[in-house]
Each structure stands twice: as structure tokens, then as C-alpha cells.
């Protein structure tokens, strides 16, 4: 039988404040992102149902019939500008609308679960911690998948649609077509913009789940749970 004393062990201090702060953050983020998704959904529905405005531009040329070397010209001759200008700048693109509806629907579902688990974290419940560990990983993985699909399947066509609407807008304002860049230039610009939007949305959506997962692995946060599962007694 050994008489040596056991080595000292470091004490773990519960940190309930961290767990409750995570709960408050989840509730606030769920409410704020819910309002943002609602605004985006309303904008998508309106932009997909409103009809494009047709703007007809005519140039009236006054001609003196008594002058030599002139011929009468009808109004609008030589300047056929009839542009169906979409005030939403291509936001009614079918692939973009479909993507936005799916993303908004999934976001609403995740916000409800996020709100519910946030209340559980605020009350320091073990089940809430367990469920949020699963939902956080689901949120990170789905954000990467959804916005990767946006880059590959939505952004190319959406960028071209936006580029064409920009050219129509300039045409409706009377800008000569010869002075405008080709549609490919605007398409590249909007493709780069959509790429930054996708990566930004991916990072913003995954930021809080990743941070909260790290905090929930801390021993002090685990020790703050009020109803941890009972450990099985080791046999004598």
C-alpha cells in the first residue's frame, strides 16, 4: 500500500456568465437575422412579381423644308431606344429568386431552433448545449454548401442578367450605345461582386456557430451546466 500523497489537481471554476452570454447572443441573433430574412424575402417577392417598366425615348428632329440639302425626318428616326428597364436591376432572375426562397426558408427554420436553444443556454441546460453542438455544425456545413452552390449555379446567370439591366438603364437615360462598355465587362464586375457576397455570407453565417462551439468545449463552461448527466459509478 503506497503512502504517497496524490498530486494536486487544478480546480475548475464554473463560468455561468459565459454560458448565459451565449444564450443572450443566440436569442438576439435569431431575432435580428429573422428581420433581415423577412426583408430579403419581401424584396424578392416584390421584385419577382412587379412588371418591368417600358421606357420609350424619342428624339424629335425639327427640319426646315425650305432649306436646301435637307430632308424631312420623322420623330424618333435613327434612335430606336425602347428599353424594358427593370427597377430591381435583375433581382427577378428565376435562379436567384429560387435560391433566395430556399435560403430564407432554411434560415427561418434555423432561427427558430437557434432561439429555442438560446433560451436553454440562458438557463444553463445540458440538453440545450447538446442540441446546439449539433445545430452549430449543421449551420456551418449548410452555409458552405448553400453559398458554394450560389457561386457555381446562380451567380453566373444572375451576373449576366444584372449586366444587361445596367445597359438598359443607361440606354433609357439616352446614353449612346457606342459609348457603353460591352455586356461582358459588366458581367465580370458583377461576377466578382457576387463572389465576394457569397464568401462574406459564408463567413458571417458560420462565425457565431464556430465561436460558440469553442466556448462550449471549455471546462469552466461545462461545469456551469445545472443539470449535467449523472456519471456512472465505477465498480469497487
Q: Is the residue at 76 inside a domain?
A: no
Q: What is the per-residue pLDDT for 198?
A: 95
Domain containing 123 equals: 16-53+90-223
Q: Which residue reads 471554476 in cell numbers?
A: 13
- Contact at 8 Å (CB) between 221 and 19? yes
What's the full length of the chain, in residues? 236
Q: Is the residue at 98 inside a domain?
A: yes
Decide: pTM greater than 0.85.
no
φ, ψ dihedrals at 228, nearest 5°: -70, 155
Q: What is the per-residue pLDDT for 211?
A: 94
Segments of the chain assigned E as strands: 53-57, 81-85
Q: Is the residue at 84 inside a domain?
A: no
Q: What is the per-residue pLDDT for 53?
A: 45
Low-confidence ranges of the chain (pLDDT < 70): 1-10, 50-88, 229-236
Partners of residue 83 on adjacent β-strands = 55
Q: Which residue reads 429573422 in cell numbers?
A: 34
Domain tally, the chain: 1
Amino acid at each position: 500500500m503506497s503512502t504517497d500523497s496524490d498530486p494536486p489537481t487544478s480546480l475548475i471554476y464554473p463560468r455561468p456568465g459565459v454560458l448565459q452570454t451565449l444564450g443572450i447572443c443566440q436569442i438576439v441573433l435569431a431575432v435580428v437575422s429573422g428581420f433581415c430574412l423577412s426583408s430579403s424575402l419581401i424584396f424578392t417577392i416584390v421584385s419577382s412579381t412587379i412588371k418591368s417598366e417600358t421606357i420609350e425615348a424619342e428624339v424629335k428632329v425639327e427640319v426646315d423644308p425650305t432649306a436646301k440639302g435637307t430632308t424631312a425626318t420623322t420623330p424618333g428616326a435613327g434612335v430606336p431606344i425602347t428599353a424594358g428597364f427593370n427597377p430591381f436591376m435583375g433581382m427577378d432572375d428565376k435562379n436567384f429568386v429560387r435560391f433566395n426562397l430556399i435560403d430564407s426558408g432554411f434560415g427561418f427554420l434555423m432561427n427558430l431552433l437557434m432561439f429555442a436553444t438560446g433560451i436553454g443556454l440562458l438557463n444553463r441546460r445540458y440538453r440545450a448545449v447538446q442540441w446546439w453542438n449539433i445545430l452549430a455544425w449543421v449551420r456551418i456545413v449548410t452555409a458552405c454548401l448553400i453559398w458554394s452552390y450560389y457561386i457555381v449555379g446562380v451567380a453566373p446567370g444572375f451576373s449576366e442578367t444584372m449586366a444587361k439591366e445596367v445597359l438598359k438603364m443607361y440606354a433609357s437615360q439616352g446614353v449612346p450605345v457606342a459609348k457603353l462598355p460591352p455586356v461582358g465587362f459588366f458581367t465580370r464586375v458583377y461576377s466578382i461582386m457576387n463572389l465576394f457576397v457569397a464568401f462574406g455570407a459564408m463567413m458571417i453565417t458560420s462565425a457565431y456557430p464556430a465561436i460558440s462551439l469553442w466556448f462550449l468545449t471549455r471546462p469552466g463552461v461545462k461545469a456551469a451546466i445545472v443539470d449535467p448527466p449523472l456519471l456512472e459509478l465505477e465498480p469497487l
